[in-house]
Chain A
Amino acid sequence: MEAHIGLEQATRALSRPGGVVMYPTSTVYGIGGCAHDPAASLRIAEIKGRPPGGLIVLAFEPLLRGVLARRLAERFWPGPLTLVVPAWPGLPSELLAADGTVAVRPPLHPMAQALVRAVGPITSTSANPTGAAPPHRLSDVTLAVDAVIDVGPLPPSLASTIVRADTGELLREGAIPARAIAALLAGDLG
């Protein structure tokens, strides 16, 4: 299997308004578009089915505000940590949770990293219709996207740990143990 198959096509697809591509993440295949492109976010919601299931993550390293958010990022990025931070103005509303937060995590898979280096901030959510299982191989899923980066089956791996960065609240324990987050928070507060 050619390791970089589809990267150029995906880059070209994301340079067009509304472009949506499927690509490997560190856990499952995901779909995404340009983070600041509202047309792409709308299309992803349509592709996944309404209401869109699962978390839509901003897959890049934003310019974080807040001491705790920066400390968590410095300690655990690049790594399987998703930070939930207050959204900043200018993001498409489809990316925002009801409480005005947004989830951010720089990509870990080399192909997703290459995509971000080529086109800038992108979004990421699992490439499955709402209610279906997240796909580990492309044969598991058929979605109407503009390009696909295919690296073959993805090995099973733990999901990311999710922390609310303004309060330190652990929202999901994943690949980073809760005790590691707690230790950093204790050090930060101590």
Chain B
Amino acid sequence: MRELSRETPAPGLVVYQPRRGFRYAMDPFLLCGWALEGGRPSSVLDLGTGSGIMALLMARLGAEARGVDVRPEWVELATRSARESGLGASFELADVRELDGLTADLALMNPPYLRAGQGAPSPDPWKAAARTELNGGLSELVAAAARNAARLCLVLRADRGDEAVDAIRGAGLHPRRRCDIDSSLVLIEGGNEVGAWARERVTMRGPDGTWSPRVRGWYAAVGARLS
């Protein structure tokens, strides 16, 4: 039995995740806060949901939120977190690549940052699936998002930003926004509707070492605590 930790990243929100191994970092909070600047979705799909953190954050704000993951352990944990938080988010076991026919306003993805074959996968199977593209490459995952949602926002390692934009085009969506955070992360948005392309660069911290206003704003937008 894997040892779990019980996190409370926001008032009233409980999230279970493994004490060791793959754990959420700041990425999901940054992505959710940024995604809300591009529109206010009624329904949200969290593809490759893991702990369920993004679906839980969006459900807490009122959205109909649904998380999908290929690993049953994550689905079980996310379901437990939703139940204990009193939230209506639902989680299901499925291969994201096989999803079809859903009509969400927004798909969120925090996909594996490493391509298959890029370094040795972690011996921890939970961590390996979250870090390395063992269950589909970026273009397949983006295509799945495009089939099931009108808009997609994803977070990736900064050096894969151009690849993500290409994947969005390849899936028939229009790239709409890009936000480079330091030189570590990139947030990308694509959607069904044509719109002006917007790109910004953001720093995590200001000159005085505290969190930058953009980062603080994204956390506040989802009502999460930034320590």
Contacts and interface: CB of A to CB of B under 8 A. Distances in A.
Contacts of B225: 15
Question: Chain B: interface residue count, which band?
Answer: 20 to 34
B217 interface: yes
B220 A90 contact: no
B11 A88 contact: no
B12 interface: yes
Which 3 A-B pairs rank lowest in CB-CB distance, beginning with the nearest?
Answer: A120-B223, A62-B62, A63-B63
Given A37-B12, A63-B42, A89 B223 contact: no
Pick from B40, B62, B63 the residue with the most CB of A within 10 Å. B62
Interface string A38-82: 101000000000000000000001111110001000000000000
Contacts of A35: 223
Interface stretch (A20-28, A111-119, A144-152, A182-190): A111-119
B224 interface: yes
Given A63-B42, A63-B63, A90-B60, A121 B223 contact: yes
B61 A62 contact: yes
Given A61-B40, A118-B220, A89 B88 contact: yes
A36 interface: yes
Contact of B12 (A63, A66, A90, A117): A90
B87 interface: yes
Interface in A118-136: 118-121
A88 B220 contact: no
Pick from B12, B58, B63, B219 the residue with the most CB of A within 10 Å. B12
B216 A118 contact: yes
A92 interface: yes
Pick from A34, A37, A63, A90 the residue with the most CB of B within 10 Å. A63
Nearest to B216: A118
Contacts of A90: 12-13, 59-60, 85-88
Contacts of B133: none
A17 interface: yes
Interface residues of A, number: 25
B42 A64 contact: yes
A66 B217 CA distance: 27
Contact of A120 (B43, B85, B224): B224
A120 B221 contact: yes
Given A89-B88, A120-B221, A70 B11 contact: no
Interface of B: 10-13, 40-44, 58-64, 85-88, 216-217, 219-225
Pick from A38, A64, A92, A121 the residue with the most CB of B within 10 Å. A121
B40 A63 contact: yes
A37 B40 contact: no
Given A62-B61, A90-B59, 13 more contacts: A35-B223, A36-B10, A40-B11, A64-B40, A64-B62, A65-B62, A89-B88, A118-B216, A118-B220, A120-B219, A120-B221, A120-B223, A121-B223
Contacts of B85: 90
Contacts of B60: 36, 90
Nearest to B226: A15
B153 to A, nearest CB: 14
A54 B216 CA distance: 32
A119 B220 CA distance: 5
A121 B217 CA distance: 12
Contacts of A70: 42
Nearest to A39: B11
Pick from A61, A117, A120 the residue with the most CB of B within 10 Å. A120
7 contacts: A62-B61, A63-B58, A88-B88, A117-B220, A118-B216, A121-B61, A121-B223
Contact of B61 (A34, A37, A63, A118): A63
